[in-house]
Amino acid sequence: MNNDSQKVNPFPGKPDSIVPPVLPDISKNEPLGSGLTTRILGQGGMANVYEIWIPQLEVYRAVKLIKPESSKDAKERFQTEIRILAKLTHPNIIDIHSVGEWKGMPYIEMDKIEGWTLDTIIHKRGAISPKVCAAIGILVCRALAFTHAHEYVIYGKTYKGIIHRDLKPGNIMVCRDGKLILMDFGIARPVDASFHTIEGTVVGTIQYMSPELLKGDKIDFRTDIYGLGATLYEVLIGINPFPEQNFSKLISLKQKNQYRPIHEFKILTPTKLRKLIHKCMQQDRKKRIDSTDKLLFELEKIHRQLTHELPEVTLREFIKEKPAKKVIPGIGMVIPWKPIIAIPLLAFIIGALIFKGIEFLNDYIADLATSKVPPIAQEALRKETAPPVKTVAPDKKEDITIQETKEPTQKKDRKPEVIARAEDTQGSIPVQAEKKPPLVTRLSKQYGTADIMNIIEREYSAGHLSTAFKLFQHLPSSQANQSRAKIYKMRLLQRLGRTKELANFLSTNEINDGEFLLAKAKFAYNLGQITKARLLLQNSLNAPKQFIDYNTLKQEVYHYKALCASKSFYNNPTEQSYLKALEEWRNVGALFSNNKSHPLFQKYRKEIRKIGEKYRAVKG
């Protein structure tokens, strides 16, 4: 780009002569940072943000340059922001490329983000769906969880944790690809540090300030949790929780923390999400959620109840949607009832009152009213309306017959056929049989049944694995080829450590069963076939689950999906693989958030730290 091309006036409609000479002249593509100025991206009270073009790399970047008229305190805060941002590397925090000075004024050169600030999106669209609200909360919370736990050295002193102090929609960018970036650490500060804040001065945006920050009291990480709560309130309702324009009235409302509760608006939202936002905005910080880790777990659980998508996917699909009419909910009660759903809803109410509780029912009704039944409700409804599971082979309608009884033929000298039938619900059926192997005879007497498959299951449950496996050689082929028998044989091969036999068994059999596909996925993972393992894991959750509890299967699937993501990251430590590994391990952690002593929860914590350290080392 030469100096005579693409001249842009930062003040449209006004002559170039009024451009302040002490600032970069973008009409001349003046050099700034690593490139040449092309236009102004934003103007604030303390600094301007410029777009620059770097011909050598053929990329655009953004440069934040402090204004020459800024106060000494503002300049010191800017230097602090530089030092803080230079030490933060996270997918949801803006990347810094370099710092420097332009004519004695400090600047930060960073990625240029193609997207919109969250306040711009809210202004255009109004209230945003609970699913998207939860996704936004998760992505912001990830950035905060990282900054709150980050250890670093600044001004020669070691600190752990950074408080952003200015959480609001205007400091959150949503990219065109659905990525979310937390920005503007201009008033961020380390925990227990008080430098660069003039005594008695309130710094930040009042509508989103926590009560303790407004009063000038000592603050901690819960200040950011309040700011995020106020932000999510505005995302969900489309209105700031403190919209008062009169300054004195605004201060009065903020000091009392008086805002209209979410349930008073005519908008359908999950009860858990409403309560979570209100808890974040408690005036007494002791009543707030006390850490971003806990808040993250709660948001992830809510998001999973609303959709199976990743938060990034939810946000990307939302951004791709054509903006509908701006939604601003009114005030008043909502009765989410449609006659067309009255009968099935009434049936579910009875079951829900008994099994699921009033709060879950409210959430379900709200989602039905919008014709969107959350996955967790679908699963609950499916389980409660499903017919009783029979403990027989899937393809048999009656008790298993090892060899069918045959009527005598016309040849009178023919020997009688062997009869061996299992017990039915009325008791034992008389058995006329040839001599059985001693093992089968003994166990048949012990369990009171001639059904060898039934005996195998009982021996397996009793932990007699070797005995159960030996019985397979006496199992008739009519039963041995059924899914039920194959699943138990696979389990025995796994538990007995017969690796070669298991490999042959998995490769020579095909069963459309979640547990079988999980076993194949584990084997593929151990062979380093990560892509194949991931596909099998996904199919495992979608396949029928005849012989295993869904939650047990889900825990195993999520664990191995996380292991696959970790292996992919270590093999190729890119931002994308890092983000995927974080997501998968957080899914594991969320499963056991109520059982933190569980080995997989401990493993989740350890792996999150490990991949984080690896990623920071790679980024340098």
How many domains is the chain partitioned into structurally? 5
Q: How far is CA 279 from the centre of its chain?
A: 20
Q: What angle do CA 490, 491, 492 make, to 5 degrees?
A: 90
* CA count, 13 A, side-chain hemisphere, 267: 26
User: Does residue 200 or residue 61 have the better pLDDT?
Assistant: 61
Same domain, 258 and 354: no
Q: How confident is the model at residue 429, as a pLDDT?
A: 42
| Residue 280, C-beta contacts closer than 8 angstroms, at least 6 positions apart | 225, 226, 228, 229, 230, 232, 288, 289, 295
Here the tokens at position 328 are 């601003």
Q: How confident is the model at residue 348, as a pLDDT?
A: 52
Give kind and range of the element (H or E) at residue 151. Answer: strand 151-154
Mean pLDDT for the chain overall: 78
Same domain, 479 and 545: no
User: Is residue 133 in a domain?
Assistant: yes
Same domain, 126 and 199: yes
Q: How confident is the model at residue 565, as a pLDDT?
A: 93
Q: How confident is the model at residue 563, as a pLDDT?
A: 95
Single residue among 330, 353, 373 that ends a domain in this structure: 330
User: Is residue 149 in a domain?
Assistant: yes
User: Does residue 291 or residue 372 have the better pLDDT?
Assistant: 291
Q: How confident is the model at residue 349, as a pLDDT?
A: 52
Same domain, 180 and 264: yes
Q: How confident is the model at residue 382, as a pLDDT?
A: 44
Same domain, 276 and 311: yes
**What pLDDT, in 10s, does the model give residues 127-177?**
999 999 999 999 999 999 888 888 777 777 787 888 888 899 999 999 988
In this model, does residue 9 exceed pLDDT 60? no
State the CATH number of the domain containing residue 104. Answer: 3.30.200.20
Q: Are 256 and 307 in contact (CB under 8 A)?
A: no
In this model, does residue 413 exceed pLDDT 70? no
Average pLDDT over residues 29-35: 91
Give the pLDDT band (50/70/90) at residue 181. very high
User: Is residue 100 in a domain?
Assistant: yes
Same domain, 78 and 193: no
User: Is residue 501 in a domain?
Assistant: no
Give kind and range of the element (H or E) at residue 355. Answer: helix 342-355
Q: Are 208 and 167 in contact (CB under 8 A)?
A: yes
Same domain, 190 and 317: yes
User: Is residue 505 in a domain?
Assistant: no
Q: How confident is the model at residue 351, as a pLDDT?
A: 54
Q: Which residue is associated with the tokens 């696979």?
A: 490
Give the pLDDT band (50/70/90) at residue 401. very low
Average pLDDT over residues 255-262: 90
d(CA 240, CA 244): 9
In this model, does residue 549 exceed pLDDT 90? no
User: Is residue 470 in a domain?
Assistant: yes
In this model, does residue 471 exceed pLDDT 60? yes
**Where are the alpha helices (H) located in 6-71, listed in sequence order?**
none
State the CATH number of the domain containing residue 122. Answer: 1.10.510.10
State the CATH number of the domain containing residue 576. Answer: 1.25.40
Give the pLDDT band (50/70/90) at residue 219. confident
Share of the chain above pLDDT 90, in %: 31
User: Is residue 414 in a domain?
Assistant: no
Single residue among 63, 85, 112 that ends a domain in this structure: 112
Paired residues of 96 in beta bridges:
110
Same domain, 177 and 31: no
Mean pLDDT lowest among 65-74, 124-133, 152-161, 401-410: 401-410
Same domain, 120 and 108: no
In this model, does residue 419 exceed pLDDT 70? no
Same domain, 22 and 165: no
User: Is residue 2 in a domain?
Assistant: no
Single residue among 330, 347, 378 that ends a domain in this structure: 330
Same domain, 341 and 225: no
Same domain, 373 and 456: no
Q: How confident is the model at residue 421, as a pLDDT?
A: 39
In this model, does residue 481 exceed pLDDT 70? yes
The range of the structural domain enclosing residue 469 comes to 390-402+424-483
